[in-house]
């Protein structure tokens, strides 16, 4: 049976990359004594998959992984023992059994929400007075947002507009906070820094440094744009 685990990756754990995180969880699941299922063959590995890798430097309140286990265990107890095997900056938020027909989180994910702000006040360029009006022009009142995306084969023009499901800005302490819901998953995976970069270019701001952004993923979703469901709301 398959279990979906929701977890947070915050604080200093932002510096731990995806592959390292996967290895951490493989060991944590072993320490917690969960009856995880292994693949067959000479090098059996745990049946464990992650919804979407989180880049180094980003934090998240809504990360997901699915694991297959051999026998049912009590969800609450499993959540507790797993949390006893976490480190500062990693916390298990839910442990839910998925229905038999549930799609794996990795292929199910279609969108992700982010909160993006600026790390330090050093990037003064972002404090544009009429930022909210300009945002209307950049997003709400436009039919397309064409950017040039570099791919392995060269460059191609990509229209971001249909892939951005929500683009809101709040100004908190004189700093813009972007509230984004973006297409995610295997086909059109849009990184939040790409969207902010396009906005910066629209504003005519000089050089964009993506390292100046503080990006937090808040959740991941499945379904179509009119009916997104949080990956964490599936199963029980």
Contact indicator for 178, 75 with CB cutoff of 8 Å: no
Phi first, then psi, for residue 234 (nearest 5°) are -100, 140
57/235 with CB nearer another protein: 57
Q: How far apart are CA 235 and CA 71, in angstroms?
A: 16
Q: Is 42 in the site for another protein (CB under 8 A)?
A: yes
Residue list 101-120, contact with another protein (CB under 8 A): 119
Identify the residue among 89, 131, 188, 218 touching another protein (CB under 8 A).
89
Q: Is 85 in the site for another protein (CB under 8 A)?
A: yes
Q: Which stretch binds another protein (CB under 8 A): 61-69, 84-92, 134-142, 215-223?
A: 84-92
> What is the x/- site pattern for another protein, positions 12-41, by CB under 8 A?
xx-xxx-xxx-xx-xxxxxx-x--x-x---
Helices (H), 109-191: 131-135
Number of H helices, E strands in the chain: 5, 11
Distance in Å from the first CA to the final CA of the chain: 12
The residue ranges that bind another protein (CB under 8 A) are 10-13, 15-17, 19-21, 23-24, 26-31, 33, 36, 38, 42-44, 46, 56-57, 85, 87-89, 119, 211
């Amino acid at each position: 049976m398959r279990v979906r685990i929701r977890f947070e990756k915050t604080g200093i754990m932002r510096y731990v990359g995806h592959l390292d995180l996967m290895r951490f969880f493989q060991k944590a699941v072993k320490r917690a004594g969960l009856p995880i299922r292994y693949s067959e063959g000479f090098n059996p590995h745990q049946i464990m998959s992650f919804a979407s890798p989180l880049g180094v430097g980003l934090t998240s309140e809504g990360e997901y992984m699915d694991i297959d286990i051999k026998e049912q265990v009590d969800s609450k107890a499993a959540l507790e023992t797993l949390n006893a095997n976490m480190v500062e900056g990693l916390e298990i938020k839910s442990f839910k059994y998925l229905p038999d027909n549930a799609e794996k989180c990795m292929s199910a994910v279609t969108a992700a929400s982010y909160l993006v702000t600026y790390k330090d006040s050093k990037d003064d360029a972002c404090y544009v007075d009429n930022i909210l009006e300009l945002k209307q022009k950049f997003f709400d009142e436009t039919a397309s947002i064409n950017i040039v995306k570099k791919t392995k084969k060269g460059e191609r023009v990509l229209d971001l507009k249909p892939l951005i499901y929500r683009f809101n800005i709040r100004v908190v302490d004189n700093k813009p906070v972007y509230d984004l819901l973006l297409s995610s998953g295997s086909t059109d995976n849009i990184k939040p820094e790409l969207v902010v970069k396009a906005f910066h270019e629209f504003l005519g701001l000089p050089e964009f440094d993506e390292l100046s952004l503080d990006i937090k993923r808040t959740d991941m979703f499945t379904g179509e744009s009119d009916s997104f469901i949080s990956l964490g709301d599936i199963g029980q």
